[in-house]
Structure 1
Amino acid sequence: MSIRSQVKYLAGLGVAALIGLAAIAPAKAAVSTDPVKLTLHDWTGQLITTQLMGEILKKAGINVEYVQADYLAQFTGLQTGDLHVAMEIWETTGRDAMDAATATGKVEVFGPTGMKAKEEWWYPAYMKEACPGLPNWEALKDEACAKAFATAETEPKGRYLGGPVTWGGFDDERVQALGLPFEVIHAGTDAALFAELESAYQRKAPIMLWIYAPHWAPSKYQGEWVEFPAYTKECYADPAWGSNKDMAYDCGKPSGEIWKAGWAGLKDKWPTAYTAIRNFSLDNDEMGKMITEVDLDGKKIEDVVAGWMKANEARWSAWIKN
């Protein structure tokens, strides 16, 4: 066999071998270079959580896009795949919307964040003298107690400062179902809610408002949450449950996990991102400290996130390992 023939022969063997290997080797799915779209809402903790997750995904070489979205309405985008990840769905306010979305099969719960949610009516300790029956919710039914929480715009009814309307929470329904002589006024933003608390607290002025945890407020200010009848699913779903046989929501708010959720197609299109998001975990103390740095110490969210990333490199690096 000539040299030229031997070369052709050996080359042919090489091609054949490569074809054979290709035939038996499993195909590896291409990882999408499209950006993972994470939703941003209107409270500091959620902005921190989301940007932490985004920075971690960037470290894994994944493109990220932040999209401003309504807290409850975002589930429409998560179902269609126009949005991909929601880092904070609170058991207290978002469970019903999350359950409805997951029932379609187009949204998946990616597990708990590690943080525990509490949201309820809250008042400063100095208000207890004017309404000594607190924290029992029934004290609020007394006209004198309600008047102690009144302002010029609500008198003789008490004033309850709720969160932004987009947060849900059923406070208007709760007032009606429990027969409370209070008027619900919704703060325009998270910042406005706590600015009003700060102002009232400094002046020892009357205030009853929505406070949530994890947050710095329950640690900074002395006060108590109102103790409503304990939440059950039946309270929200069945008007016959509870003290008011004709109306639902005659109980307090649920408490529990803060969940991660998103588009069900995430695990196939971005498997590394899917793993990292499922692994992501923080606790209330960590989040409370970061919120304090932003809201009270005046630091930028980006700087707080960068500080956490630097201090916890070994931890988040493990989250992005396949």
Structure 2
Amino acid sequence: MKAKSLISAAVMALAGSGMALADSSDPIKIPINEWTGQHISAHITGTLFKKAGYEVEYVTAGAVPQFAAIAQGDLHLQPEVWTNNVGDIYPKAVESGDIVVLGQLGLQPQEGWIFPPYMKEKCPGLPSYDALYECAEAFAAADTFPKGRLITYPADWGTRSKDVVGMIELPFEPVAGGSEGAMIAEAKSAVATGDPILMMFWQPHWLFADMDMEWVAWDAADGECVEESGQERGKACGFQQATIDKIANKNFASDYPGANAIFEAMSLDNSVQNALMLEIDQKGRPLEEVVAEWVDANEATWKPWVDAGLAAKQ
């Protein structure tokens, strides 16, 4: 018992000094997707792994293609999986056991179509989606008239808005945004000039701290909203509201038991992400600097997570 206590004390001392030894000398590979919030989640995760002595490598990967790489072990984990935008590979990999879900990250997400409040004057009946049938021209652009223009996610994020438009026969033309930045720039430009805009978007996001936007309202779903089929005018639930999961390759827990314990314990909420995204996307500060600043200021929050990881390595 005395020896075990001495070992535990030594481990904790190493934690404080940042000198803890990792389970494996191989770096933990964390994918970087297309949006800033995920960059924050990934880099906080990686920073905490480094606090426990692990080597970390960040790898650029698409939000859907990453799942094949995680299932095969080429990437190790993902802290921010929006479960309503995962394609076919992810659920099959979870079912087969190649990908393990380690709980939710803690964010409270929402996805759907947003518009600026002044569009209520041009389209009476908003926020109900039903109003869009009667005032599509109010949202039209030169290249879509008489149909309204709907800005959707970038093409490699999937076709969910386009699918819903088709199912409910809404007189709108879906136009894929080039990137998150391009979508935000278009929203800012429209609001600055009072022009119409309807756009697929999500929260948490700094946009809602910077701009006044409202959400299109849908019919209540009978149970969970099913996007893929069964929607029609009068019975349109719009979009399944996601959970945000933490996932890892099936071998991660055995290869990196300490990091796995940290990953299971860690949690982030909307207020953290929104604040950090604002610093990065609006104030132009480097991601690494903003994340390091949060980590330095919030040791009381993350230290128990790292301690759990160190304990799992004994």
Classify the TM-score, shorter chain.
Answer: 0.7 to 0.9
Contact kept? 2:148, 2:171, Cα under 8 Å: yes
Q: Do residues 100 (structure 1) and 92 (structure 2) align?
A: yes
The question of 1:236 aligning with 2:231 is answered no
Return the alpha-carbon distance in structure 2 between the equivalents of residues 97 and 175 of structure 1: 24
Matched, 1:148 2:134: no
3-state SS in 1 of match to 2:227: helix
Change (3 A) 1:290 1:169: farther
Secondary structure of 1:228's counterpart equals coil
- Which segments of structure 1 move beyond 4 Å, counting only runs of 4 or more? 231-234
Shift in CA distance, 44/234, structure 1 to aligned 2, threshold 3 Å: closer
Offset from partner CA, 1:244-296 (integer Å, 9 cap, x none): 79xxx953111142111120110000001101111111111111111111111
The one-letter code sitting in structure 1 at the alignment partner of 2:232 is S
Aligned counterparts of 2:89 and 2:79: Cα–Cα separation in 1: 15
Match of 2:169 in 1: 179
> Aligned to 1:254, what secondary structure does the other structure show?
coil
Structure 1 residues 290 and 298 mapped into 2: Cα distance closer, same or farther (>3 Å)? same
In structure 1, the partner of 2:202 is 212
Q: Is the counterpart of residue 293 in structure 1 residue 284 in structure 2? A: no
| Match for residue 51 of structure 2 among 59, 71, 82 | 59
Which residue of 2 is the match for residue 126 of structure 1? 118
Distance 1:101 1:42 in 2: 22
Query: Which runs of 5 or more structure 1 residues have no equivalent in the other structure?
Result: 1-29
Q: Once the two structures are superposed, what CA deviation does each residue of 1:16-66 show, in whole Å capped at 9, x if it has no partner?
A: xxxxxxxxxxxxxx9211111101011011011101111110111101111
- Residue identity in the other structure for 1:264: K
CA-atom RMSD in angstroms: 2.0
Verify the 8 A CA contact 1:89 1:95 in the aligned structure 2: no
TM-score (norm. length: structure 1): 0.84
Distance in 1, Cα, partners of 2:179 & 2:79: 19
In structure 1, how many angstroms separate the alpha carbons of the residues matched to 2:177 and 2:33? 15
Match of 2:60 in 1: 68
The percentage of counterpart residues that share the same residue type is 37
Structure 2 residue matching 1:57: 3-state secondary structure = helix
Equivalences for residues 1-322 of structure 1 within 5 A: 31-94=23-86, 97-142=89-134, 145-168=135-158, 170-230=160-220, 235-236=226-227, 239=229, 241-243=230-232, 250-321=236-307, 322=311
Match of 2:11 in 1: none
Q: Which has the larger radius of gyration?
A: 1
Structure 1 residue 92: Cα displacement: 3.3
- In 2, are the aligned partners of 1:114 and 1:282 still within 8 Å (CA)? yes
- Aligned to 1:93, the other structure's residue is in SS state coil
Could you tell me which amino acid in structure 2 is paired with residue 317 of structure 1?
K
The structural deviation recorded for 1:236 is: 3.5
In structure 2, C-alpha distance between the alignment counterparts of 1:224 and 1:55, rounded to whole Å: 35
Amino acid at match of 2:185: A
- C-alpha contact 2:164 2:231 (8 A) present in aligned 1: no
* Structure 2 Cα separation of the partners of residues 166 and 206 of structure 1: 25
The normalised TM-score by structure 2 is: 0.86
| One-letter amino acid of the structure 2 residue matched with residue 224 of structure 1 | E
Aligned to 1:8: none
Matches of 1:45 and 1:177 in 2, distance apart? 30
Structure 2: tracts of 5 or more residues without a match: 1-21
What count of residue pairs does the alignment treat as equivalent? Answer: 286
CA distance in 1, matches of 2:225, 2:213: 29
**1:45-93 Cα shifts (integer Å, max 9, x gaps):** 1011101111110111101111111101211111111111111111332
